[in-house]
Structure 1
Amino acid sequence: MTETDTACVFCEIAAGREGAGRVLFEDERTIAFLDHTAVMPGHTLVVPRVHAADIWEISTEDAATVMRTVHSMAARIRDVLRPDGLTLFQANRSAGWQDVFHLHVHLVPRATGDHLTRPWVASAKRDEELAAVRALLLDGRSSPLEP
């Protein structure tokens, strides 16, 4: 699926037309279900029922509702599966590693020493670099993002 495709598998799941055997929780605004491409047992996705491609399209109210469901499902995963940890992952647009263009949050139960690795290596930035980005964000001026 690309950013311009019209068919949305997560809308189909939210509407009950697909994936019913994977649903863990649903309410009026969200649905949580097991990821069919799970990287760890219990890998769960939480999506809003209303289609929003990414964080920039979802309403504040729907984003908050998604996070409430994420919080509830994280507790369920902790209490039932007892992982050593939990990774939350939410990607936006192709450049942000999103591959299904309906906002979703991954909840990935983790085990100490499992096969998953961090997607980047962090390194400290100079205060001047941080100050320049801070100024842009506070002033609201547009500037291309550079690594």
Structure 2
Amino acid sequence: MTQAGSPCVFCAIADGDTSAERVLFRDEHTVAFLDHTAVTPGHTLVIPRAHATDIWDISADAAAAVMRTVHQMAARIRTALHPDGLTLFQANRPAGWQDVFHLHVHLVPRSDGDHLARPWSATVKNGATLAAVRELLA
């Protein structure tokens, strides 16, 4: 259940109540499963078993467990599918493009020249801009 009390589809997957045929890995802390809206073959999601809405709602230990499983699944994807690359993606809150409000990491196998594109173009920022932000974060 989510904090608001409405059903959480990822909690149901973590609890084994739904979509078991998509589950690739399960341990005490995490579950990895195929994304039913996969953008490439092998698109995998890794979630914590305990509900955490986003990166600000998960403990450091639970986040570390998620990343350990991400690392393990990345190795499986590399061995089984031989992608040219791998994109990891984790979104938080609507403004950050999150649409399922249970923390999850996407592992998206990539091929050179596939249909996916970067969502932004990187540009170098000047030193004063970076210094101002550094002061806020330090």
Tell me the TM-score range normalised by the shorter chain. over 0.9
Task: Give the gaps of 5 or more residues in structure 2.
Answer: none
- Residue 59 of structure 1, CA deviation: 0.5
| Amino acid of the structure 1 residue aligned with 2:130 | L
- Residue 129 of structure 1, CA deviation: 0.1
How far apart in 2 are the matches of 1:15 and 1:91? Answer: 22
- SS of 2:86's partner is strand
1:67-146 aligned within 5 A:
67-138=67-138
- Identity among equivalent positions (%) equals 71
Partner residue, 2:7: 7
- Residue 47 of structure 1, CA deviation: 0.1
| Amino acid of the structure 1 residue aligned with 2:38 | A
| Amino acid of the structure 2 residue aligned with 1:112 | D
Compared with structure 1, are the counterparts of its residues 5 and 94 closer, same or farther at alpha carbon in structure 2 (3 Å cutoff)? farther
Paired residues, what number?
A: 136
| Amino acid of the structure 2 residue aligned with 1:29 | H
* Structure 1 outlier segments of 4+, above 6 Å: none
TM-score if structure 2 supplies the norm length?
Answer: 0.96
How far apart in 1 are the matches of 2:115 and 2:77? Answer: 19
Compared with structure 1, are the counterparts of its residues 122 and 4 closer, same or farther at alpha carbon in structure 2 (3 Å cutoff)? farther
TM-score if structure 1 supplies the norm length?
Answer: 0.90
Task: Give the gaps of 5 or more residues in structure 1.
Answer: 139-147
Partner residue, 1:40: 40
How far apart in 2 are the matches of 1:6 and 1:126? Answer: 45
Name the Cα RMSD after superposition.
1.2
| Amino acid of the structure 2 residue aligned with 1:78 | R
Partner residue, 1:24: 24
How far apart in 2 are the matches of 1:32 and 1:132? Answer: 39
How far apart in 1 are the matches of 2:136 and 2:124? Answer: 19
How far apart in 1 are the matches of 2:34 and 2:4? Answer: 25
1:66-119 CA distance string (max 9 Å, x none): 000000000000011000000000000000000000000000000000000001
- Residue 7 of structure 1, CA deviation: 1.6
